[in-house]
Amino acid sequence: MTIPGAAALFPFVVLVSAAPIALTSGGTRILRSYTRIAWFWLRKMMYHVLPLTFVMLALWYAGFSLAPAGDTGAPRKVLVVGSIHGDETAGIAIARRLERRRPPGGTELWVVRDLNPDGSARHTRQNARGVDLNRNFPRRWRQTARRGNPEYSGTNPLSEPETQVARKLIRQLHPALTIWFHQPLALVDRSGGGVNDVRIQRRFAALTGLPLRRIPPLPGTATRWQNFTFPGTSAFVVELPPGKLARARVARLTRAVLEVAAPS
pLDDT tens digit string along 42-69?
A: 444 333 334 444 444 444 443 333 333 2
pLDDT level of residue 5 (50, 70, 90 thresholds): very low
pLDDT at 191 over 70: yes
pLDDT at 25 over 50: no
Handedness of CA 134, 256, 202, 185 (dihedral sign): negative
Instruction: Tell me which of 83 and 10 has the higher pLDDT.
Output: 83
Instruction: Tell me which of 194 and 40 has the higher pLDDT.
Output: 194
pLDDT at 18 over 50: no
3-state helix, strand, coil in the chain (%, to 5): 40, 10, 50
Average pLDDT over residues 200-212: 96
Cα–Cα distance for residue pair 21/35, rounded to 1 Å: 10
Average pLDDT over residues 19-39: 41
pLDDT at 17 over 80: no
Strand blocks (E) in 98-249 = 107-112, 177-182, 187-189, 212-213, 234-239
Average pLDDT over residues 70-87: 82
- 3-state SS, residue 253: helix
pLDDT level of residue 32 (50, 70, 90 thresholds): very low
pLDDT level of residue 215 (50, 70, 90 thresholds): confident
Does the global pTM surpass 0.95? no
76-81, strands of its sheet edge to edge: 29-31, 107-112, 76-81, 177-182, 234-239, 187-189, 212-213
How many of the other CB atoms lie within 10 Å of CB of 170? Answer: 24
pLDDT tens digit string along 131-142?
A: 999 999 988 877
Cα–Cα distance for residue pair 129/147, rounded to 1 Å: 9
Instruction: Give all domains of the chain, ordered by start, each with its CATH number.
Output: 21-63+74-249 (3.40.630.10)
Helix pair angle (247-261, 91-99), 10° resolution: 60
Closest CA to 203 of 249, 251, 236, 180: 236
Q: Do the beta carbons of residue 15 and residue 38 sit within 8 Å? A: yes
